[in-house]
């Protein structure tokens, strides 16, 4: 679940978001400007990622830029989805 400040992400969301955009751990690390070891360590956790706020924000921002939408806990569990690209008629 996301925290009320919406800045935290879970390891499960991080893994799922990366899978949605078909990125390797190295791809996310490169796009977020963090070390690949940081990505792997965060994804190995359970629950909220325990990285620095700067690293969490960088990874989340990189995934969001690729179209990943983070879904807050809403009784059914936190999650991610891939946004639908805007069509020319939108």
Identify whether 4 is part of a domain.
Answer: no
Q: Where in the sequence is the domain holding 74, given as residue range(s)?
A: 11-82
For the segment 14-68, what is each residue's pLDDT rounded down to a tens digit? 999 999 999 999 999 999 999 999 999 999 999 999 999 999 999 999 999 999 9
* 18 lies in some domain: yes
CATH, residue 32: 1.10.260.40
Q: For residue range 2-12, what is the model confidence (pLDDT) as tens digits?
A: 344 457 899 99
Spatial CA neighbour of 40 closest among 53, 54, 26, 30: 26
pTM: 0.84
For residue 28, the model assigns a pLDDT of 98
Residue 2 lies in a domain: no
Q: In total, how many domains does the chain have?
A: 1
């Amino acid at each position: 679940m996301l925290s009320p400040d919406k800045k935290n992400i879970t390891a499960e969301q991080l893994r799922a978001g990366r899978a949605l955009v078909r990125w390797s751990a190295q791809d996310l690390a490169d796009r977020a400007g963090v070390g690949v070891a940081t990505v792997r360590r965060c994804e190995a956790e359970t629950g909220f990622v325990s990285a620095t706020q700067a690293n969490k924000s960088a990874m989340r921002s990189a995934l969001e830029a690729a179209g990943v939408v983070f879904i807050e806990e809403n009784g059914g569990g936190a999650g991610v989805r891939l946004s639908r690209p805007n069509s020319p008629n939108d």
